[in-house]
Amino acid sequence: MNKITRGVLFAVIILILAGLFFYPKIKQVFSKNGEKESVAAVRSPLPGRGAQALNINAKVIQPETLIDMVQANKALLLPDEEVDLSFESSGKITNIFFREGSAVRKGMLLAKINDNPLQAQLQKLEAQIPLAEDRVYRQKQLLEKDAVSKEAYEQVTTELEKLKADVALVKAQISQTELHAPFDGYVGLRNVSEGAYASPTTIVTTLTKVVPLKLEFSVPENNAKDVLPGKQIRFTLPPDQTEYSATIYATDSRIDPNTLTMKVRAIYPNANGKMQPGRSAAVTIYTNEIKNAIVIPAESVIKEMGKDVAYIFSGGKAQRIELQTGIRTASGLQVVSGLASGDTLIISGVMQLRDGLPVIIDNLEQ
């Protein structure tokens, strides 16, 4: 065997021994799904065995009052009453008595159509009544003396009653030529002018009652029990954040099967009449108040194997704890068990934490 052959053999033996020595470490560089992990991760020390400390923010847990609430962002302000006004009969409009956009009182005459033929007919009938009454009087006197039959007396009495009925009918027809406000409110823009021909299908204007106002919104079926009549709610009119108070007075009789929500209506006094119907509102319903509750930021909790997990600061290290949670609010989460007042909860970097990992508090909220 020459020197070159011995050198090659020696090199092969060295490579085999190196492969046997480094194979376990190379294997660790690959994850179970076949993707290569960083070599740096393999060489990182285990928590508690010289791992580098992680800088975190923490909060000292203090009990507070937790107010549970339901929010509905698609609420709508509705008028207490609203109706399109039209005549009950047809004819030419002779008078319009209201000013557009003005307030009117119940019973106020708003418009009138031509009733001259009816007035003439009424006068004719009313002129016949005295004569008919005189006939009834004379027949009654004669009946008491047995000078006429009872049948003759009843005939003139019937004629008088028929005449009075005709008068009442014509008066009713005349009233149908007048348009009156059915309730207090504000009239809108008019759609007709004097001289126009109107029929029962012609909308003259719209009458709206804005004192009080109704507020209609929907809540999820799970919160149906929290919106009983008489309950106070709060609402705002975005972008204005001024809060107003209203009182629930009615709920729908069933849950909508398509949206799984229930319609609710509340009443707002609107005493000054300045708030207009048709505006959208954001409703807040306070359903429950829990005193001395433990509430933590939602971002400080992570899910592990279906469990809620958080970390507290203990002895310079992160300590893993399991939580039982309750009510979730817009920014917080109620903890039923697992945390106590005075614990220092880690609220940042929770995805990098491991049980026993050294940590350094940069910012501590009291």
What pLDDT does 345 receive? 94
DSSP labels, 278-327: T-EEEEEEEEEEEEEEEEEEGGG-EEETTEEEEEEEETTEEEEEEEEEEE
In the chain, the domains with their CATH numbers are 3-42 (no CATH), 47-64+291-365 (2.40.420.20), 70-80+206-290 (2.40.30.170), 87-205 (2.40.50.100)
CA distances to 16, 94, 103, 154, 251 from 247, in Å: 85, 45, 26, 61, 12
| Global confidence as pTM | 0.64
Bigger pLDDT: 142 vs 120: 120
What pLDDT does 97 receive? 97
What pLDDT does 365 receive? 86
State pLDDT tens for residues 47-99. Answer: 444 568 899 999 999 998 887 788 887 899 999 999 999 999 999 999 999 99
What pLDDT does 38 receive? 32
What pLDDT does 67 receive? 79
Bigger pLDDT: 38 vs 174: 174
Angle formed by the axes of helices 150-175 and 116-144, nearest 10°: 160
State pLDDT tens for residues 310-357. Answer: 999 999 999 999 999 888 876 688 899 999 999 999 999 899 999 999
What pLDDT does 182 receive? 96
Enumerate the H helices of 29-115 as residue ranges. 39-43
Query: For residues 356 and 205, what is the distance between their CA atoms, to the nearest angstrom?
Result: 76
State pLDDT tens for residues 21-52. Answer: 544 444 443 333 443 333 233 233 344 445 68
What pLDDT does 16 receive? 64
Enumerate the H helices of the chain as residue ranges. 3-28, 39-43, 116-144, 150-175
Asked whether residue 125 carries a pLDDT value surpassing 80, the answer given is yes
Mean pLDDT to the nearest integer, 166-189: 96
State pLDDT tens for residues 196-241. Answer: 999 999 999 999 999 999 999 999 998 888 899 999 999 999 888 8
For residue 297, is the peptide bond before it cis, meaning its omega torsion is within 30 degrees of 0?
A: no
State pLDDT tens for residues 267-318. Answer: 999 998 889 999 999 999 988 778 888 889 988 999 988 899 999 999 999 9
User: What is the amino acid identity at position 356?
Assistant: G
Strand partners, 217: 264
Q: How far is CA 274 from the centre of its chain?
A: 21
